[in-house]
Amino acid sequence: MAQFLDLWVQYAPLMLAGLVTTAWICALATVLGIAVGLVLACLDGIAFEPLRWAIRAYVEIMRGLPILILLFVLYYGGPSVGLRLSAGTVGVFGLGFYGAAYFAEIFRSGFQSIPKGQIEAARMAGLTGSQIIRHIKLPQMLVLITPPMVNQIIILIKESAVLSIITVAELTKNTTQFVNETYAVIQPYVAAAVLYWLLVEAVAQLGKLVERRVRF
Amino acid sequence: MATQSLEPIIRIRDLTKEFVNFSALSGISLDINPSEVVCIIGPSGSGKSTLLRCTSFLEEYTSGEVEIEGRLLGYRRGASGLVRESEQNIDAVRRNVGMVFQHFNLWPHMSVLDNVTLGPRLTKRVPAVKARELGRRALAKVGLEKFADRYPSQLSGGQQQRVGIARALAMEPHVILFDEPTSALDPQLVGEVLDTMKQLASEGITMVVVTHEMGFAAQVADRVVFMDHGKIVEQGPPAKLFNEPESPRLREFLDTWRSRNMLFQTEEPTSGRRGQGARS
Amino acid sequence: MPVTTFTLIQNNLPVMLWGAGMTVLVSGIAIILGMPLGLVLCFGVSSSNRWVSRISRVYQSVWRGTPILVQLLIIYYLLPLIGINVPPILAAIIALTLNTIAFQAEIFRGGLQAIPPGQMEAARMVGIRIWAARRTILVPQIFRLVIPSLVNETISILKNSSLVSVIAVTELMRVSQQIVATTYRPFEIYIAAAVIYIVINLVLSLAGRTAERRLAHGT
């Protein structure tokens, strides 16, 4: 029994380092994804057909692609078109732009949930499109979109495991290292499962806090 | 205060809005003069609200022109006909037009005062302190200065609509459009809104009011316009229109209205309606 | 002499399409197996029996709260340890199925909640036994309600299937990797694979919308 727990103690630093890397990469990717997603959703409201078509295409492509392919194109295919990025950078950008498509959809349905009458009143008061988004749409939307946004962040955390395949030293890669060095299977994967679960729970709880604070 | 000039504030020429199988508006031409109060009446589906919304370019139309203070709204005269304007230019022409909506359309996440001051703050770049003063004055005008820090959900329908009027006033418009302002209100709340509107009229503000409130039209309007099936059927001073309607459709409309409202009239039955009294 | 992109794709398309076929096969089996089991889990989660409900919810929480790659690796390494020796493709199908069951149960639960409880009560009062009642009354309605979500989940499984390449299952992803290893043209090959995935998913979305329309008429 002691031997069983020994492995955990021995590899705790490695696993925790992996967890921190995972958390850090996901945080960066989330910020990138939300920023890009918001921009896309705002642009979608402009009545310029080719732009809206391009945004639609972007969203459909990201939703139809396994993230692994996106990462492979960027990491392994990149150098042949002059793009030499580190695995970590590819991870953040890949996850970020992948998530942006989903965040954009969440923002879009949020924008559409505001009653048209309020928008008309804002137009008559002379507000420009971006002023309407900032003062009328976003404040009211926040309560509505927080749960799906939190859900999407959790999905990104789980997807981040795939980064191990392009050699990023996050939690799953370190778990594999744990397995390869010790030939144990149960301890590493149980530890990995618990650590991912903890991270997901933390984000879910944070989400509930944000939801409560955002109610107007 | 409305500018005193001889030119019409709003000029509508040959406005038409067509759908696949019917016409909402057919060749409407109408002028609104400074300090005039014009009431538009008619049965449901006659196109009254559509006309108002096209005048403020909240709805697009098939053909015709709308001029606000001499400037074309929504379109520009191009080489081969009319070209749609950019949103910025539409806002610029529409700047001096205010609107009061049937369902108030207040912004629920902002206080009453913030609702009133948002327009001046963002559109006219009025600094926050001055905007709040302006807002309180507008609220005082509609009798709601004590409600400045409340939220719309805490107000009755009548109070919300008066906030809507204050919001329009805060932008210092040259003309205010009212789209059935009391139709969504409980009967006992209608009076307070109409009283506010009567007061505005007495101050000389140019108003275009789509309404079912014939009493208001009779007392306050300078001109009443009767619409049916997308056309202006008859228009004139309320005394003439209500006492001596010329067109059969208007007569029918007034008869229906009278028979529905007989039971609720508290004034002594007179042979005609009162003339315009309340305006000084 | 470097081969043009067009020739490169042309040469390798057949084997890539074969890989795509494996992708569809593996995903398809997982989805089809997942439906009845997902329904069972769904009824388990909503069960009035505390233990059944609790165990079901733990299962759901575990399989929805951890990355599918980790789940895949666990199944792959764990099965031989407990004496079950299966080819990688079977391990892949098992892992994908166990994963999708958890998500499908949640989807079905949403549909289940939209059905007024009075319908089951009526069935029980007429003497129909519980599983028969569920099968004939609830399940058809649930399916009609949740088709869009099911289509999304199917697309999700298809994308997840790319991960089974790491346990040596030769589906589209692995085939692409092998081609790249011999041709050294990663950019074009992976883009081609991406296009194939997108096409498969577009076809799926279209099929889903058609199924939705057809079933809506039946109501």
> Average pLDDT in the B232-241 region?
93
A27/B100 Cα distance (integer angstroms): 45
pLDDT of residue B239: 92
Instruction: Find the residue in C nearest to A64 (Cα).
Output: C198
User: Which residues, other chains included, contact C113 with Cβ-Cβ below 8 Å and sequence gap of 6+?
Assistant: none
Over the stretch C152-162, which tens digit does the pLDDT of each residue have?
899 999 999 99
A194/C102 Cα distance (integer angstroms): 18
Q: What is the DSSP letter of B20?
A: S
Residue A59 lies in a domain: yes
**Structural contact between residues C31 and C100, judged by C-beta atoms closer than 8 angstroms:** yes
Which of C74, C78, C194 lies nearest to residue A65, judging by beta carbons? C194
How far is Cα of residue C8 from the mean position of the Cα atoms in its chain?
32
- What CATH number is attached to the domain comprising A205? 1.10.3720.10
Rounded to a whole number of angstroms, the distance from the CA of A162 to the nearest CA of chain C is 7
Distances (CA, A) of C89 to A79, B239, C26: 32, 89, 8
Residue A2 lies in a domain: no
All structural domains of chain C, each given as residue ranges with its CATH number in brackets, are: 5-217 (1.10.3720.10)
Instruction: Find the residue in A nearest to C167 (Cα).
Output: A165
**Structural contact between residues A184 and A7, judged by C-beta atoms closer than 8 angstroms:** yes
B273 band by pLDDT with thresholds 50, 70 and 90 = very low
Cα diameter, chain C: 79
Taking an 8 Å cut-off on Cβ atoms, the answer to whether A69 and C173 are in contact is yes
Q: What is the DSSP letter of C137?
A: I
Residue A38 lies in a domain: yes
Strand B10-18 vs strand B23-32: parallel, antiparallel, or unpaired?
antiparallel
Chain C, 136 to 195: residues with Cβ < 8 Å from chain A are 155, 158-163, 165-166, 173, 176, 180, 185-191, 193-194
Residue A5 lies in a domain: no
pLDDT of residue C38: 94
B5 band by pLDDT with thresholds 50, 70 and 90 = low
Over the stretch C205-214, which tens digit does the pLDDT of each residue have?
888 888 878 8
> Average pLDDT in the B184-195 region?
94
Classify B232 as helix, strand or coil.
strand
Query: Phi/psi at B238 (nearest 5 deg)?
Result: -55, -40
Residue A6 lies in a domain: no
Over the stretch B127-166, which tens digit does the pLDDT of each residue have?
999 999 999 999 999 999 999 999 999 999 999 999 999 9
Query: Who wins on pLDDT, A185 or B278?
Result: A185
pLDDT of C30 > 60? The answer is yes
Structure tokens at A18: 């992996």
Identify the chains in contact with A, defined as 3+ C-beta pairs within 8 A: B, C
C200/C28 Cα distance (integer angstroms): 12
Give the structural domain span for A187. Answer: 14-214
pLDDT of residue B266: 55
Residue A9 lies in a domain: no
- ipTM confidence score: 0.85
**pTM exceeds 0.80 for this model:** no
Structure tokens at B155: 């107000």
Residues of C in contact with A162 (CB under 8 A): 67, 69, 163
Residues of A in contact with B167 (CB under 8 A): 121, 125
Over the stretch A39-79, which tens digit does the pLDDT of each residue have?
999 988 777 888 889 999 999 999 889 999 999 999 998 88
pLDDT of B6 > 80? The answer is no
Over the stretch A89-148, which tens digit does the pLDDT of each residue have?
999 999 999 999 999 999 998 998 899 999 999 999 989 888 999 999 988 888 888 888
Taking an 8 Å cut-off on Cβ atoms, the answer to whether C68 and A164 are in contact is no
Residue A97 lies in a domain: yes
B77-115 burial: b if 16+ Cβ within 10 Å, else e: eeeeeeeebeeebbbebbbbbbbbbbbbbbbebbbbbbb
Using the Cβ of C77 and the Cβ atoms of chain A, whether some distance falls under 8 Å is answered with: yes
Overall number of domains in chain A: 1
pLDDT of residue B274: 44
pLDDT of residue C217: 61
**Structural contact between residues B253 and B241, judged by C-beta atoms closer than 8 angstroms:** no
B267 band by pLDDT with thresholds 50, 70 and 90 = low
Over the stretch B51-79, which tens digit does the pLDDT of each residue have?
999 999 988 888 899 999 988 898 887 77
A55 Rama class: left (phi>0) / alpha (psi -120 to 50) / beta: alpha
B214/B41 Cα distance (integer angstroms): 8
- Average pLDDT over chain C reads 88
